[in-house]
Amino acid sequence: MNSSIDFSEILTKTISTAKSAGSFIRQESKTFDRNKVEAKGLNDLVSYVDKEAEKIIVEKLKNILPEADFIAEEGTEGQSGKDFTWIIDPLDGTTNFIHGIPVFAVSIGLKYKEDIVLGVVYEINLDECFYASKGNGAFLNGQPIVVSKSETLSESLIVTGFPYSAFGKIDDYLAVLRSLMETCHGLRRMGSAATDLCYVACGRSEGFFEYDLKPYDVAAGVIILAEAGGKVSDFSGGDNYIFGKEILASNSHVHEEMLKEIQKVW
């Protein structure tokens, strides 16, 4: 890692950036008109709020780390081949936002070469800011967080996301859901992958899995979870979970048990 970069200062400024975008989103949610929604694809929605929030974030991040590239949901891109890349979802949980369901977040991750080194997830409705930088632990509104100590699926709450356009594996997914329903003590679907990962990180749930995800859905959350003591993999148990479109995240204790349930059918 580049030792000349002050990641603590970058993290502080990134938190401020996420909260600025979150403040804008919160204000817009009070008067949002669902007629202003656009469709990018099947059930893939976007609004002017997503786009404007991304502009706010990108403008501030360019000042924080001018040499960085961008991967962002609403299309912001920089030059390729740079060591640093910001991975941004300006509004993770757009469908929830559009329908007035209060679970959506700003998600900002920073990648250095092949490693995610920093992450901030600001859950707007509860005013909860989760953040971490590599090797320095994970925090929620200034307080350290750790994963739960539950050791079996039978005492675990599992969160997931439902596919909204990639239905080719729906039968396998439903089989996994059925298996987990019979094994764990509850399943939840929040509607924001970034929030899901942070809820595992702070011990509110023990595991999260989803497929057909994008890098900006998970980049920030995975380092927050890892720094809180959790474990992340793809459905094969490997490490292709940022760009591989599938992720299994856990408190580490139930990871192998969850992986086994998924691999029965996947």
3 pLDDT exceeds 70? no
Is pLDDT at 174 greater than 80 in this prediction? yes
pLDDT in tens, 42-80: 545 567 888 899 999 999 999 999 999 999 987 766 555
Listed range (39-48, 101-110, 203-212) with the worst mean pLDDT = 39-48
Q: Is the dihedral of CA 216, 222, 224, 227 positive or negative?
A: negative
pTM passes above 0.85: yes
Q: Using CA atoms in the order 132, 238, 249, 148, what is the torsion angle rounded to 10 degrees? A: -80
Annotated binding site: 73, 89, 91-92, 217
Domain 7-144 shares a fold with domain 153-263: no
CATH architecture of 7-144: 2-Layer Sandwich (3.30)
Domain residue ranges of the chain, discontinuous segments joined by +: 7-144, 153-263
Give the tens place of pLDDT for each residue, 110-167.
Answer: 999 999 999 999 999 999 999 999 999 999 999 999 999 999 999 999 999 987 766 7
Return the pLDDT at 43: 43
Select 153-263's CATH number: 2.60.40.10, 3.40.50.11440, 3.50.50.60, 3.40.190.80.
3.40.190.80
Q: List, as residue ranges, the binding site for Mg(2+).
A: 73, 89, 91-92, 217
- DSSP code, position 154: G
